[in-house]
């Protein structure tokens, strides 16, 4: 295993990413992942866009398997390179483009893993989670089950099957693709069409994958809330959620318009659920004027940058390659409590993780750098 591959493996191990241990099933996993990460578009050395690694291929999805693999045939949507243990590479072609739900269902088996390279990131599907590498930042998606259990404990009447489909759509289809949205779900409540503008009526069935794609494309270019009845059918779109100004006195204040309208509307219509998808990722679920749950990416760049052992290790690698590592001290003061701190800042060529230093007393940011590590110690001098 060369230095780059060893570095990648160590990085993943230190941050305990969800796919750890997969190398026990596939010893070349980190080499494969490194090849995909370091491939340059113009070189075309590795043509993998969608790769399935499995012990033995099993799926209920309609597909066909070609007994050979050709360059540029795997798009990571409908066609994948298939590598079964002890066999040569093949190509699997699914009858329909796989949804995120399909992909996650496929990797529930601990012996299955999928790697997909998109224009913006690299995604690793394993054990029901998606680990995402975007630039030099790792993050992964949480599982949905804990969220559903929390909601069920609050509202026993919830149609959990429908809500699960909605959350999957909001989180894995919209959030992962950075598509913002507001979704009003009527659950088992009687649907009141008189609340909405008839000219904006729609009829899209979210139980059907092709129609989910239609809605996803629509939301990518249109604002306003979508209204979904108890049968998971979109009845209205591009709706402005109206609420009384006095409602703002009874709910938690949010800075964004999307969250404010969601919490106010759910307060005035307490039997409904309002799901918001932020452009930058988090999915929030509002009910009866409260945010009852949130799904957001778990990001590791902050932890990674503060790991001193890892910093020293890659610093050594940098020196061997003749790269520049710079360490210096800087004194800063907290504007609130006037405490002074000495920061030790390490910069390393090729690493641009953004790091902030909080005042341990006031918990406010007092220094920010694009650097690899930043540590602070309170000055012994007068505060």
- Percent of the chain beyond pLDDT 90? 24
Q: Quick one: tokens of 304?
A: 């990674």
Distance CA 345, CA 328 (A): 6
* Mean pLDDT (the chain, rounded): 82
In this structure, of 221-225, 242-246, 338-342, 372-376, the range with the lowest mean pLDDT score is: 372-376
How high is the pLDDT of residue 312?
A: 59
pTM of the model: 0.67
Contact 112, 53 (CB under 8 A): yes
Q: What is the mean pLDDT of residues 207-235?
A: 90
- 365 pLDDT more than 90: no
- 344 pLDDT more than 80: no
In this structure, of 44-48, 100-104, 135-139, 286-290, the range with the lowest mean pLDDT score is: 44-48
| Residue among 369, 298, 281 nearest 332 (CA) | 369
Strands 50-54 and 298-299: unpaired
**φ/ψ of residue 374, rounded to 5:** -150, 120
- Percent of the chain beyond pLDDT 70? 85
Contact 200, 193 (CB under 8 A): no
Q: How many CB atoms lie within 10 A of CB 54?
A: 21
In sequence order, the β-bridge partners of residue 131 are 124, 140
Q: Between 114 and 71, name the one with better pLDDT.
A: 114
The per-residue b/e assignment along 313-350, b for 16 or more CB within 10 angstroms, e otherwise, is bbbeebeeeeeebeeeeeebebeeeebbbebebbbbee
């Amino acid at each position: 295993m060369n230095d780059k591959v060893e570095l990648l493996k160590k990085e993943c191990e230190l941050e305990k990413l969800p796919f750890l241990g997969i190398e026990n099933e596939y010893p070349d996993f980190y080499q494969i992942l490194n090849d995909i990460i370091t491939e340059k578009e113009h070189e075309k050395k590795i043509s993998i866009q969608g790769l399935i690694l499995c012990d033995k291929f099993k799926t209920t999805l309609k597909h066909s398997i070609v007994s050979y693999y050709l360059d540029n045939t795997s798009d990571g949507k409908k066609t994948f390179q298939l590598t079964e243990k002890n066999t040569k590479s093949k190509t699997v072609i699914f009858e329909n483009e796989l949804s995120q739900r399909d992909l996650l269902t496929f990797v529930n088996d601990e012996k299955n893993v999928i790697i997909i390279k998109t224009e913006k990131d690299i995604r690793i599907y394993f054990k029901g989670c998606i680990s995402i590498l975007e630039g030099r930042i790792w993050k992964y998606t949480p599982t949905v089950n804990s969220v559903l259990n929390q909601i069920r404990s609050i509202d026993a009447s919830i149609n959990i099957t429908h809500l699960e489909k909605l959350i999957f759509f909001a989180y894995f289809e919209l959030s992962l693709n950075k598509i913002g949205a507001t979704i009003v779900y009527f659950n088992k409540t009687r649907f009141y069409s008189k609340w909405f503008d008839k000219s904006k009526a729609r009829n899209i069935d979210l139980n059907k994958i092709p129609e989910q794609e239609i809605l996803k494309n629509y939301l990518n270019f249109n604002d306003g809330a979508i209204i979904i009845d108890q049968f998971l059918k979109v009845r209205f779109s591009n709706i402005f959620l109206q609420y009384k100004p006095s409602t703002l006195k009874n709910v938690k204040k949010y800075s964004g318009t999307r969250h404010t309208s969601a919490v106010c509307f759910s307060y005035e219509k307490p039997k409904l659920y309002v799901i918001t998808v932020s452009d930058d990722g988090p999915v929030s679920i509002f009910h009866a004027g409260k945010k009852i749950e949130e799904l957001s990416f778990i990001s590791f760049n902050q932890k990674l940058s503060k790991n001193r052992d890892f910093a020293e290790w890659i610093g050594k690698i940098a020196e061997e390659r003749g790269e520049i590592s710079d360490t210096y001290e800087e004194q800063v003061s907290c504007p609130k409590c006037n405490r002074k701190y000495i920061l030790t800042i390490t910069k390393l060529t090729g690493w641009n993780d953004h790091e902030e230093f909080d005042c341990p007393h006031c918990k406010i940011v007092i220094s920010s750098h694009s650097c690899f590590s930043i540590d602070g110690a309170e000055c012994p001098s007068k505060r």
